[in-house]
Amino acid sequence: MTSHRTPYGVLRLVVAFLLGNREICQWRWTWDDFGKAAIEPSQPLGGIPTPDQTITPKR
Is residue 30, in this structure, part of any structural domain at all?
yes
Quote the pTM value. Answer: 0.24
Structurally, the chain folds into a number of domains equal to 1
Considering the domain boundaries, does residue 3 fall inside one?
no
**Centroid of chain to Cα 20:** 22
Q: Is residue 52 part of a domain?
A: yes
DSSP annotation of 21 reads: S
Please tell me the predicted confidence (pLDDT) of residue 24. 54
pLDDT at res. 12: 75
Distance in angstroms (rounded) separating the CA atoms of residues 59 and 37: 33
- Give tens-digit pLDDT for 12-52: 777 766 666 555 555 565 656 656 655 554 444 444 454 44
Does some domain include residue 32?
yes
The CA–CA distances, whole Å, from 26 to 11, 14, 19, 30 equal: 16, 15, 12, 6
Structure confidence at residue 46 (pLDDT)? 47
Range of the domain at 27: 8-58
Query: Does residue 2 sit within a domain?
Result: no
The answer as to whether 45 is a domain residue is: yes
